[in-house]
Amino acid sequence: MKGRYQGACFPFREGFASGSLALEFAPDGSLFNQTTERGWGARGGQPYSLQRLIWTGETPFVIHEMHAHRDGFDLTFTEPLDRATAEVPASYKIETYDYIYRADYGSPEVDKTTPVIKSATLSADRLKLRLVIDGMVEGHIHELHLPGVRSANGQPLLHPAAYYTLNYIPQS
């Protein structure tokens, strides 16, 4: 948009022996994860590992897509949502922040704000959610947490967070 990328990212699998360094798909579709304790992404306590993920064939309950609009975000999910939890603004928490871009490595989160989720409206098929938000900030990361949202069968999201870099607020 306007010559610059923007969009969402979502947490990756957790519980590895250390921080992910390299990922490689095997011919059988499994995923090898090479890990190391070096760097900021290191978790798990081991100096290094090689771990394999094998998909069970079941799609987890996660956020599938997130798109910005002039007054909020549209989210799509992999399973229908429970209307009683999805349409309650208290089921969500959002904050915005930026980083100081400089030659030195790293930066604290700066210029934090707390937008207000005014409404949450679910589509008829309960797979799409429209969040109307007051206080979106152009040029900031929007960190959205969904601790109260459940699937139609009562399950919590596998990864109840999304991070959207909002370089421009769309006009529609």
- The predicted structure's pLDDT at residue 71: 96
Residues 87/120, Cβ–Cβ less than 8 Å: yes
- The predicted structure's pLDDT at residue 40: 64
- Complete DSSP assignment for 2-37: TTS--EEE-------SSEEEEEEE-TTS-EEEEEES
For the record, the structure tokens of 57 come out as: 């064939």
- The predicted structure's pLDDT at residue 39: 67
| Helix, strand, or coil (residue 129) | strand
- The predicted structure's pLDDT at residue 41: 61
Residue pointed to by tokens 């109840």: 160
- Residue 68 CA to residue 133 CA, distance in Å, equals 11
Task: Give the model confidence (pLDDT) of 113-157 as tens digits.
Answer: 999 999 999 999 999 999 999 999 999 999 999 999 999 999 999
Residues 72/131, Cβ–Cβ less than 8 Å: yes
- The predicted structure's pLDDT at residue 171: 87
- Residue 143 CA to residue 133 CA, distance in Å, equals 13
Which stretches in the chain have pLDDT values below 50?
A: none
The CATH classification of domain 60-166, taken from the options 2.60.40.1220, 2.60.40.420, 3.40.50.1820, 3.30.360.10: 2.60.40.1220
The rounded Cα 131 to chain-centroid distance in angstroms is 15
Q: How many CB atoms lie within 10 A of CB 81?
A: 26
Q: What is the pTM of this model?
A: 0.90
Give the residue extent of every domain in the chain.
Answer: 17-53, 60-166
